[in-house]
C-alpha cells in the first residue's frame, strides 16, 4: 500500500482553506447601490410558527439567507416580512455587489 505524499495533502488542505475563506459573508442591508450590484434573484423563507414564538422568524430568515448564499450573494435586502399567528414569511432580494 502506498503512503500519501505529505506535500500533496498540505497543498490540498491550503487550497480548500483558501476557497472557504474567499467567500465573503452575506450582509443584510436596508438597500444597495444598484449601479454596483447585480440582482441575482428573489429569496424567501417561511415557517409555520408565528407570533407565538421568535423561532418562526429565525427559521424563515435562515431559509431565505441560505437561498441567498446558494446564489453566491454578497448582500440581502428584505422586501417583505410578515409575521402572523399562523406563520412567518420573509422575502428579500439577493445581490452580488462590487466593493
What global pTM score does this model have? 0.72
In the structure grid, which three cell numbers stand for residue 98, read together? 462590487
In a domain, 81, yes or no: yes
Asked if pLDDT for residue 94 goes beyond 90, the answer is yes
Q: How many residues does the chain have?
A: 99
On whether the CB atoms of residues 61 and 99 are closer than 8 A, the answer is no
In the structure grid, which three cell numbers stand for residue 75, read together? 448582500
In a domain, 20, yes or no: no
Identify which has the larger pLDDT, 57 or 46: 46
In a domain, 9, yes or no: no
The parent domain of residue 75 ranges over: 26-97
The CATH number that applies at residue 74 is 3.30.110.70
Question: What is the Cβ-side half-sphere exposure of residue 1, based on CA atoms within 13 angstroms?
Answer: 2
In a domain, 1, yes or no: no
The predicted structure's pLDDT at residue 25 = 92
Distance of CA 74 to the CA centre of its chain: 8
d(CA 45, CA 76): 13
Amino acid at each position: 500500500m502506498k503512503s500519501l505524499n505529505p506535500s500533496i495533502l498540505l497543498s490540498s488542505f491550503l487550497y480548500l482553506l483558501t476557497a472557504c475563506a474567499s467567500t465573503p459573508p452575506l450582509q443584510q442591508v436596508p438597500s444597495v447601490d444598484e449601479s454596483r450590484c447585480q440582482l441575482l434573484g428573489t429569496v424567501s423563507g417561511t415557517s409555520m410558527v408565528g407570533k407565538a414564538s421568535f423561532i418562526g422568524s429565525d427559521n424563515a430568515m435562515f431559509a431565505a439567507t441560505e437561498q441567498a448564499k446558494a446564489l453566491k450573494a454578497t448582500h440581502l435586502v428584505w422586501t417583505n416580512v410578515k409575521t402572523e399567528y399562523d406563520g412567518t414569511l420573509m422575502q428579500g432580494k439577493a445581490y452580488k455587489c462590487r466593493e
